[in-house]
Amino acid sequence: MRRKGMIKAVCVALAAVMLAGGVTGCAGDKETKQTQESETSAATKQESTFAQEPESEAAKESSSEEEKKNRFPDRANATLKEGKVKVLEEGDVAPDFTATLADGSTFTLSEHDDDVVLLNFFATWCGPCMREMPAFEMLKADGLDGVAILCVDCMEEKKTVDALVKEKGYTFPIAYDEEGVIEEYYPTDGIPYTLVINKGVIARVYLGAMDAETQYKEYKGAIEECLAK
Amino acid sequence: MEKNHFKRFARRYVQLLAAVLYNCNFKGFSTGKIWQGSSKGFCVPGLNCYSCPGAVAACPLGSLQTALLSSKYKFPYYVLGTFLLLGLFLGRFICGFLCPFGFLQELLHKIPTPKLKKSKITRILSYLKYGVLLIFVIAIPLIALAPGFCKYLCPAGTLEAGIPLVLLQEKLRALTGALFTWKVAVLIVILLACVFCYRSFCRFLCPLGAIYSFFNPVSFFGIKVDQTKCIHCDACVRHCKMDVKKVCDRECIQCGECISHCPVNAIHFGVSSQGRADGENTKKSATARKKARIILRVVLIVLAIALLVTGLNDNGFQDLKNKAIRICYECMGIG
């Protein structure tokens, strides 16, 4: 009797939790959507800021800025089509962003429109991300002309990123993205997620990673291919 | 009739309910996209891969491994607090009632084939899971920076995340290799073993069960033995399919199957304020042990609350959510 009563109680409790979970889940979904919407609007705002800046500077400065802008007419809408985040593919225009780096400086993608950019998304809890990290250090040591490297930490606190940089002594640019604003422009199901961007256009997309040596060869090959074009 | 049916299958319903509750993002199974809501900041008690397209919360074992992986940058207060709380309140009751993979193993064991009975060998093999815990869940994440259990062994990850996502997402198919093949092979062997040997994965390999087993003597909820009624006939142990030496020991999954076999109705579910591992010989030693258990419980509760509060203040919930909303390639045998 007691067992039956207890099991009944467990069933009722689980059903209640399920109901609560469903409600929370729905709320969570709404919350996510709202967050996405707000981030989307923030992103649009940020994009428009980026879009306007070159315009205002172009008026003052040389016509090269104007040329650059004409080369990337879709940049402002690269990720945000009909309010939805677009999953990027090879051939897509790389969405612009400005990131704050662990060394205190900033990195703006559009400032590297003439370069090949290796853009990586990682986190300290991600095993494959950590294992491939030395590859970026090796690429930086190669000192290839016209190549920029940027690793963006996915939504971890600054102190965590700082601890990683301090412990490993990495010298390549590592950016904070505590709120996931940059990641919003480069949506991915999983990390590590690495893109090779050639003159503002995505040339290669990598999901996951092997060891540092393998990744170094892979990325270097892709970069050299872009530089040769 | 209805009452008998409920009595007989109550645990099955609870197991089914738990499995559905953990994986109620049904849309994910058609789109191949994993759930990204806030509920992913919570751990479910049972083994359930958070890269499963249906999963709405995080896997405790996966969370522990990723937390250990980055523990030198951030101490895993939140995940450890969650484990302590779950273990303290439910112990291996979770294995018996709230684990979807345990449920699946029990269903597979229903397939009519010759069955391997428990023996001294299976009892010895039951210690294997502590080795798996030590090597794959603790050592590999800390030393080799990989979630060892998820990457090399976890059958739940392959079944719930690896296979469905590889089928649903073309881009992931290109990433599969020897590791994925290995994980599918491990899954097949484990599922086949479960047909012949009751809950073989839980008994011999599951590190989550190994963790919860440490809490069995002190957990609040679960099976209780009334020592004043017990006649020490061992009917409960003889009928139990797990490698138990006595009810409530580390191998007991608190399923309650022994209740119906007790001739004197000495076993029942309950909440205990003094611990449930009974069998003391003298009144004096019984009192001393009860006192020790109460002190241990108080210490563990205080520790669990302290860890959870510190973890929440240290952004632990958000950190766990940020991990669990992303596909773990290693869980899937990719990477």
Report the residue from A127, A154, A167 with minimal CB separation from B330: A127
Which of A156-165, B4-13, B280-289 comes out lowest in average pLDDT?
B280-289
A17-43 exposure pattern, b = at least 16 Cβ within 10 A, e = fewer: ebeebeebbeebbeebeeebeebbeeb
What is the per-residue pLDDT across B163-181, written as a single tens digit (0 to 9) for each?
999 999 888 888 888 999 9
| β strands within B123-258, DSSP E | 221-225
Would the pTM count as exceeding 0.90?
no
Q: pLDDT band for B1, please (50, 70, 90 cuts).
A: low
What is the per-residue pLDDT across B53-103, written as a single tens digit (0 to 9) for each?
999 999 999 999 999 998 989 999 999 999 999 999 999 999 999 999 999
Question: Under DSSP, is residue A128 helix (H, G, I), strand (E, B) or coil?
Answer: helix
- Neighboring chain A residues of B175 at a CB cutoff of 8 Å: 207-208
What is the Cα–Cα distance from B175 to B193, expressed in whole angstroms? 29
**At residue A200, what is the residue type?**
G
Q: Looking at the predicted complex, does its ipTM rise above 0.90?
A: no
Counting Cα atoms < 13 Å in the Cβ hemisphere of A157 gives: 15
Which of B140-154, B167-181, B229-243, B307-321 comes out lowest in average pLDDT?
B167-181
The whole-angstrom distance between B137's CA and the closest CA on chain A is 13
What is the per-residue pLDDT across A28-75, written as a single tens digit (0 to 9) for each?
343 333 333 333 333 333 333 233 333 444 444 455 555 545 444 455
Q: Is the pLDDT reported for residue B335 higher than 70?
A: no
CB contacts < 8 Å between A and B, how many? 131
State the pLDDT at residue B238: 94
Q: Which regions in chain A score pLDDT beneath 50?
A: 1, 17-61, 68, 70-73, 76-83
Contacts of A180 (CB under 8 A, 6+ apart): A39, A154, A155, B322
Counting Cα atoms < 13 Å in the Cβ hemisphere of A74 gives: 10
What is the Cα–Cα distance from B204 to B192, expressed in whole angstroms? 14
State the pLDDT at residue A63: 52
What is the Cα–Cα distance from A69 to A28, expressed in whole angstroms? 39
| Alpha-carbon dihedral angle through residues A94, A95, A99, A105, given to the nearest 10 degrees | 60
Q: Which residues pair with A152 in a beta bridge?
A: A121, A175
Q: Parallel, antiparallel, or unpaired: how do β-strands A193-198 and A116-122 relate?
A: antiparallel
Checking phi first, is residue B178 left (phi over 0); if not, alpha (psi -120 to 50) or beta? alpha
State the pLDDT at residue A197: 96
The whole-angstrom distance between B37's CA and the closest CA on chain A is 5
Mean local confidence (pLDDT), B210-227: 92
Mean local confidence (pLDDT), B259-264: 94
State the pLDDT at residue A189: 83
What is the per-residue pLDDT across B31-57, written as a single tens digit (0 to 9) for each?
988 999 999 999 999 999 999 999 999
Residue A122, CA distances (Å) to A152, B37, B212, B314 in order: 6, 20, 32, 20
Q: Is the peptide bond before A192 cis (omega within 30 degrees of 0)?
A: yes
Report the residue from B37, B69, B334 with minimal CB separation from A28: B37
Report the residue from B24, B268, B334 with minimal CB separation from A2: B268
Question: Under DSSP, is residue B113 helix (H, G, I), strand (E, B) or coil?
Answer: coil
The whole-angstrom distance between B125's CA and the closest CA on chain A is 30
Cβ distance A127 to B319 less than 8 Å, yes or no, reads no
Backbone angles phi, psi at A147, to 5 degrees: -125, 130
